[in-house]
Structure 1
């Protein structure tokens, strides 16, 4: 199976960069990166030291419901572009030793029994395992320390 890692869409990023309200109705906060742990959800690269970035509340779901979590995300303050991802290769901004993986169904509800903290090197194999389950249509990758959403993984077309 081939896996595709899906970042924040460019329309949402442009909306936030334009100062529009985030998922909580607040304008994004602008900060300057210290170069440590500031992963941009749009290009899936780290924001370099001294670069401006935004902090905003984001709900990476198409509908609101009990499972549609909202949380903080970072993104470059200026437009950025993701490099073409290699299928099955983890995005460069995933640098912690482990992450939370959680499977979601077609209605964007958590598939119980799929969540867990997974070591970085084991993430591709676990995603493949989860995506083989008929009810799992996407896997969210979140911080194991702060529960922040990073990206989602889906079967590649």
Structure 2
């Protein structure tokens, strides 16, 4: 039996807030992307040259914990993410897992919002296996996929 894991973009209601003030309390400063290729967390795709985007501070675990009534404590991180500066249609729901073209970490978190470890994923075809290993542990409530080079949050996968 094969399980399919779904990458979760930043929720539209959260994007609306981030497009005004980010999670570090700074006003959002949109700009025109002249090069393209920025990994967008709103639609889980890459920007195109000419797109209006913004680089904002985002606290994914803090926001998840607030929904669940958990306290991530010291694991509450705020980091940079790119989003479209205006509403976008969101991800292509039929698409494969995004951003698997480089080394990534799959970081595991408990229902209390505490880190339970992680795994380096070096090959695109091993993402499903990394998620299966994570969710085989009943203590794991969600995982974050992060870039190795910069540590940036890319997306979240939750236990069904």
Give TM-score scaled by structure 2 length: 0.84
**Deviation of the 1:50 alpha carbon:** 1.2
Selected match of 2:88 from 80, 83, 108: 80
In the alignment, structure 2 segments of 5+ residues that lack a partner are 66-71
The answer on whether the counterparts of 2:45 and 2:91 sit within 8 Å (CA) in structure 1 is no
Give TM-score scaled by structure 1 length: 0.85
Comparing both chains, which one has the higher relative contact order based on Cα–Cα distances under 8 Å and sequence gaps of 6 or more? 1
1:97 matched to 2:121: no
**Residues 115 and 6 (structure 1 numbering): CA distance in 2 closer, same or farther, change over 3 Å?**
same
1:145 matched to 2:149: yes
Q: How many residues of Structure 1 are paired with residues of Structure 2 in the alignment? A: 149
Cα RMSD for the two superposed structures: 1.9
**Residues 70 and 99 (structure 1 numbering): CA distance in 2 closer, same or farther, change over 3 Å?**
same
Alpha-carbon distance in structure 1 between the residues aligned to 2:91 and 2:121: 27
Alpha-carbon distance in structure 1 between the residues aligned to 2:73 and 2:89: 30
Alpha-carbon distance in structure 1 between the residues aligned to 2:86 and 2:142: 28
1:120 matched to 2:127: no
Residue in 1 aligned with 2:10? 8
The answer on whether the counterparts of 1:57 and 1:70 sit within 8 Å (CA) in structure 2 is yes
The structure that is helix-richer by fraction is: 2
The answer on whether the counterparts of 1:6 and 1:153 sit within 8 Å (CA) in structure 2 is yes
Residue in 2 aligned with 1:40? 40
Instruction: Please give the secondary structure, in 2, of the residue aligned with 1:101.
Output: strand
The answer on whether the counterparts of 2:53 and 2:83 sit within 8 Å (CA) in structure 1 is yes
